[in-house]
Amino acid sequence: MTRFVSRVLFAGLFVAWLAGPVSAPAQESGEDVSAIQDVIAAQIAAFRAGDGSRAYSFASPGIQRIFPSPGVFMRMVEQGYEPVFRPRSFAFMDNQMVGPDDALQFVDVVGPDGAAWIAAYTLRRQPDGTWKITGCQLKPGVGA
């Protein structure tokens, strides 16, 4: 059920982004792109290190409400998102601001079994200016 809920949340944001008004995307600054990518890389590093508290700290308040502890969050990620939980490698791809405070970042991931994946991360700027991950959806990548 929790895996379903997290995918529904991501799908909702992604569909809202697709259905939004047709206009030029919000301007992204180099600082925003760097901060967004730093958050994703730090969460992946925390997953690799088995540091649930640190990995959980990069999740948005909404995700933390659904998964109310680092342990619950880590189990969900381990069971449903193995490619980003234990990637062999990852590289940042395209990103886009979806308004002034929402972003979409694509990541090329090679999972622990060598399979290729594309991880589509959504993030939201918090009131304190930091970025938090609001969702992640995995799709088979090239060669998968």
pLDDT digits (tens, 9 = 90+) for 49-75: 999 999 999 999 999 999 999 999 999
Determine which of 31-35, 39-43, 121-125 has the lowest per-residue pLDDT on average. 31-35
102-111 pLDDT, tens digit per residue, is 999 999 999 9
The mean per-residue pLDDT over the stretch 40-53 comes to 98
Higher pLDDT among residues 82 and 16, named by residue: 82
Percent of the chain residues past pLDDT 90, beyond the cut: 75
Mean pLDDT of 69-85: 97
- Contact call for residues 123 and 131 (beta carbons, < 8 A): yes
Q: Which residue has the higher pLDDT, 42 or 1?
A: 42
Q: State the virtual CA torsion across 10, 15, 16, 22 in degrees, nearest 10.
A: 140
In the CATH hierarchy, which fold is given to the domain comprising 2-19+27-140? Nuclear Transport Factor 2; Chain: A, (3.10.450)
Residue 124 DSSP class:
E
pLDDT of residue 23: 38
CB 39 within 8 A of CB 132: yes
The two beta strands, 102-110 and 89-97, are: antiparallel
